[in-house]
């Protein structure tokens, strides 16, 4: 069994990844930087904003011969904000499922702290986790390093080996394994597909969770 559950946010609690990928693809394509959607998800999902933008800038220098940060940051931030304000919702069933978790729980997300707060408050999830809500800004090295999950476990007062992590990205799964935690892969976000499932299985998640109803059933089976 386990003493605490640590949840990723984007694509697990809130259906933000599908929105973010649309914005990112549109902005990057507008400056001539194109990616295969599946490869983009596999490479970048779960990264902190700082690491993500550094990787994009490195690609710009390599493929376009220039730094692209000045070109993409303003449009990307503006489009993110508008899309999240107008379209963001919980992953269907997240709030109901979280309310059934009576033990210790936390959020550990690669999002920036302010953005994480906005997303969780907009979807009604904030109060069910606060104060145990941790962002990439709480640690030096975010996912795929284990630091963020270890920070959350320490704040909860539990051993890493007694934590279960729910993640949708290989970077997140890698971080959970490195932290010595159990990890389930989550397929319920709007951005997930069969290639996503294959990547989670290849990353050796303990089990694949189809949606929040399946998560609740899986928890009940462990009781």
Phi, psi at 203, each rounded to 5°? -80, 0
Q: How far apart are CA 62 and CA 12, in angstroms?
A: 33
Enclosing H/E stretch for 87: helix 69-87
Does residue 8 carry a catalytic annotation?
Answer: yes
How far apart are alpha carbons 130 and 7 in whole angstroms? 13
Partners of 4 in the β-ladder? 104, 163
Taking CA atoms, 207 is separated from 131, 190, 215, 223, in Å, by 28, 19, 10, 16
Q: Which residues are catalytic?
A: 8, 10
């Amino acid at each position: 069994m386990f003493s605490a559950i640590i949840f990723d946010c984007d694509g697990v609690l809130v259906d933000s990844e599908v929105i973010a990928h649309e914005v990112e693809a549109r902005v990057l394509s507008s400056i001539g930087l194109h990616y295969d959607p599946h490869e983009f998800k596999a490479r970048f999902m779960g990264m902190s904003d700082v690491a993500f933008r550094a990787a994009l800038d490195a690609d710009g220098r390599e493929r376009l011969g220039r730094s692209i940060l000045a070109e993409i940051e303003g449009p990307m931030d503006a489009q993110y904000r508008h899309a999240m304000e107008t379209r963001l919702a919980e992953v269907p069933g997240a709030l109901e499922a979280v309310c059934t978790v009576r033990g210790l729980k936390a959020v550990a997300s690669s999002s920036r702290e302010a953005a994480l707060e906005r997303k969780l408050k907009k979807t009604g999830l904030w109060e069910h986790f606060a104060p145990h809500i941790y962002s990439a800004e709480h640690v030096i090295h975010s996912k795929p390093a284990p630091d963020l999950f270890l920070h959350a476990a320490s704040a909860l007062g539990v051993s890493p080996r007694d934590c279960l992590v729910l993640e949708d990205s290989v970077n997140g799964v890698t971080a959970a394994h490195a932290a010595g935690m159990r990890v389930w892969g989550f397929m319920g976000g709007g951005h997930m597909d069969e290639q996503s499932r294959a990547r989670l299985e290849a990353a050796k998640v303990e089990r694949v969770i189809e949606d929040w109803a399946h998560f609740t059933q899986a928890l009940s089976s462990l009781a």
